[in-house]
């Protein structure tokens, strides 16, 4: 049985375009894979621990087998719990709006919490960095005000998609498909056509994956 995790990075509620895209994908996925289990993580509603100086101190005290205090161990355990929830999925669906050419800060916070040594990556002197989540796949649903598609003048101003691809590959997760609903900063008729086309492509991607 495949477990699907939807990571929602938009605070826009029902008006979110990236979430509408993900919902269309997930509805089609459920029809094509009725036995799969599903879970949604809304990064805006998670009680994420801060990755601040005290968390860094806790991290190294635990990982280097130093004398971690009970408070440090508890702090690190909170991060590990969030990371393991993420790691338990087999298929990931991300709904991500572009903010200032990149990611919403709350998604970056989530990424920094779940990306933990020993949980989903490791390092050794002989092998360097090694991913631990091989065999898993991710489907990425984007929205952006501008058009950052391949061949567009603004293509290389896009720090949303390249960052997520690189992060996923660092963990061993294959970016298996992407759909972008863009540009959203356009007249209503054009936006309606862009939205309809993106949602149709999301449904096809889910059905064929």
Q: What is the pTM of this model?
A: 0.94
Q: What's the CA dihedral at 166, 3, 134, 92 to 10 degrees?
A: -10
What integer pLDDT is reported at residue 83 of this predicted model?
97
To which residue do tokens 């690189």 refer? 166
Percent helix, percent strand, percent coil in the chain, to nearest 5: 45, 20, 35
* pLDDT average per 10 residues of sequence, the chain (209 residues): 96 90 98 97 95 87 79 90 97 97 97 95 92 97 89 78 97 97 95 96 97
Q: Which helix (H) or strand (E) holds 83?
A: helix 70-87
What integer pLDDT is reported at residue 149 of this predicted model?
81
To which residue do tokens 């990424």 refer? 111
Distances (CA, A) of 99 to 81, 106, 153: 28, 11, 19
What integer pLDDT is reported at residue 147 of this predicted model?
86
Nearest residue to 92 via CA among 122, 114, 118: 114
Cis omega (within 30 of 0) on the bond before 183? yes
What integer pLDDT is reported at residue 73 of this predicted model?
87
What integer pLDDT is reported at residue 152 of this predicted model?
66
């Amino acid at each position: 049985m495949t477990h699907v995790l939807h990571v929602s990075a938009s605070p826009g509620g029902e008006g979110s375009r990236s979430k509408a895209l993900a919902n269309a994908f997930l509805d089609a996925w459920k029809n094509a894979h009725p036995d799969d289990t599903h879970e949604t993580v809304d990064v805006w509603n998670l009680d994420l621990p801060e990755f601040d100086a005290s968390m860094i101190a806790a991290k190294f005290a635990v990982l280097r087998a130093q004398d971690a205090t009970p408070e440090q161990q508890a702090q690190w355990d909170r991060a590990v719990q969030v990371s393991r929830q993420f790691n338990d999925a087999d298929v990931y669906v991300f709904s991500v709006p572009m903010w200032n050419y990149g990611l919403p800060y709350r998604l970056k916070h989530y990424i920094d919490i779940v990306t933990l040594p020993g949980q989903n990556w490791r390092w050794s002197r002989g092998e360097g960095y090694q991913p631990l989540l091989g065999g898993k796949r991710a489907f990425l649903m984007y929205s952006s005000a501008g058009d950052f598609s391949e061949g567009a003048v603004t293509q290389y101003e896009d720090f949303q998609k390249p960052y997520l691809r690189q992060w996923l590959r660092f963990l061993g997760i294959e970016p298996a498909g992407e759909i972008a609903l863009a540009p959203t900063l356009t007249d209503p008729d054009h936006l309606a056509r862009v939205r309809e086309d993106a949602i149709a492509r999301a449904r096809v991607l889910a059905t064929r994956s």
